[in-house]
Amino acid sequence: MNRKNTTLGEFIIENQASFQYSSGELSKLINAIRLAAKVVNHEVNKAGLVDIIGEAGDTNIQGEDQQKLDVLANEKFIQTLKNREIVCGIASEEEDDFISVNSNDNQNQNKYVVLIDPLDGSSNIDVNVSVGTIFSIYRRVTPIGTPVQLEDFLQPGRNQIAAGYVVYGTSTMLVYTTGDGVNGFTLNPALGTFYLSHPQMQFPETGRIYSLNEGNYVHFPQGVKNYIKYCQQEEGDRPYTSRYIGSLVSDFHRNMIKGGIYIYPKSSVAAEGKLRLLYECNPMAFIAEQANGKASNGYSSIMDVVPTALHQRVPFFCGSRKMVEKAEEFMAVQE
């Protein structure tokens, strides 16, 4: 059932039977993420009023300066997922290693692992620009009843059973898929309830927006440079419009609604790209494919990449299908 004004809780219950693992555990897991997102949203909306903006004084495993809200969001999501006792492991972009979670009543019996970027685009907090949360869910591959292992997290994107994001913007939205389309829910802050506002979201087949940091142009591969020139040429429906927020969730969300492509390629200063395969690219790729879009490393599907490390980075091209395919054409010529 996809009627508007349906709450997220009602939607999960009504659509649970369409999910191939309809044991109720995944529903509880999505509900846990919903709860944590509401807590983080509350904290994001207090930025500037209390001491939660600015750097925390530490760096994460990526070597990036952690913002105070990075730390807070990471703690809230991990705490909420642990408390619900429905996952056997959690991997976060902010943590050096994965976290093994044992249920007090049913040790190691849980089937799911969650990979999460607790606060995507957190450097934008200080200037009041939209940020988000990205999550990805897999069934473990090691035997139930044993401690979770690294291989449970190093799965290709094709193995995802659910993925989604929360965008904390002019309104707060939770968008997710379980492999049966993409649906978006908007938070009513007065009631603290998410309502179905964007049923069966779809990327337009093509668009007129390209999103990348053109300040890094001189470092880009020639294929990307040539694609940018193509976007800027006056021909047909071109030139395209350049729009780059610097928060993957926000750029992706805009392009899914309006039509566009997001690019974060490898470069001479970032040989493997910057975005993380497991926390950012795979979940967004799953959502894109479920919404008639496409996600690529410039040559082939992101979802087919077999991960080799928890914090692996990859180039990322994602958005309207025809735009991604055109970018791949330019990359292939320069291979």
Nearest Cα residue to 68 out of 57, 60, 79: 57
Alpha helices, H only, the chain: 8-15, 25-44, 68-84, 222-232, 248-258, 282-290, 321-333
319 known ligand binder: no
SS3 of residue 67 by DSSP: strand
d(CA 133, CA 33): 10
Is 65 known as a binding-site position? Answer: no
What is the rounded distance in angstroms from the CA atom of residue 182 to the CA atom of residue 194? 15
- 192 in a known ligand binding site: no
120 is in an annotated binding site: yes
Q: Is 250 assigned a ligand-binding role in the annotation?
A: no
Residue 180 marked ligand-binding: no
121 is in an annotated binding site: yes
What number of CA atoms fall less than 13 Å from residue 13's CA on the CB side?
Answer: 5
> Which residues have a Cβ under 8 Å from the Cβ of 202 and sit 6 or more positions away?
182, 256, 291, 292
- Ligand-binding annotation for 236, yes or no, is no
280 annotated to bind ligand: yes
Q: Is 164 one of the annotated binding-site residues?
A: no
Contact 313, 274 (CB under 8 A): yes
**Is 213 annotated as a binding-site member?**
yes
Residues of each annotated binding site for Mg(2+): 93, 117, 119-120, 280
Residues of each annotated binding site for substrate: 120-123, 213, 244, 274
Residues of each annotated binding site: 93, 117, 119-123, 213, 244, 274, 280
